[in-house]
Amino acid sequence: MGARGMTADRKKDGAQQATEGFVTVVAAGQLFGLKLNRVRDVFVPRGLSSVPLAPREVAGLLNLRGRIVTAIDLRLRLGLDPRADGMAPVAVGIEERGELYGLIVDKVGDVLRLSRDTYEPNPVNLDARWARLCAGVHRLDHDLMVVLDVNKVLDLTHFGAAA
């Protein structure tokens, strides 16, 4: 390969390094992004069993292909009202420290590769409840995508931390 081919490959690699992949989800009409490398799968949560004395954000436990999954309601985690539309929710599967979690959202959108140039830290006017769980925002053409910090969303050591 000539020097010209190597330069093109380096530019292509540089372009890939300058982007991040996100799975988009919607909760209460707001667009959120989860880093693509954190998402394991997407599924419909069925057969939820309640967990006595669990934080209200924990929607319950379910069995997914033989594994126990802790389902967390993103709306409640963000201090939003529970779903009232009667439509079936969807869950994004995330594995953390050997445990499987299902983050329940209203809907799952597209996978986006976004330039780091559109990223900004949390705006100063972002609700404090959200700011504790978010890692910044990406300004899109017609929307604002709030990037969720998955580690903080899954950290339920402080009951009601987002409320």
Residue ranges of the domains in the chain? Answer: 21-154
Specify the pTM.
0.82
Residues 94-136 have pLDDT tens digits of 999 889 999 999 999 999 999 888 899 988 988 888 889 999 9
Strand partners, 43: 91
Residue 16 has φ and ψ, to the nearest 5°, of: -70, -35
The DSSP code sequence of 37-48 is GGEEEEE---S-
Whole-angstrom Cα distance, residue 102 to residue 12? Answer: 35
CATH number of this structure's domain 21-154: 2.40.50.180
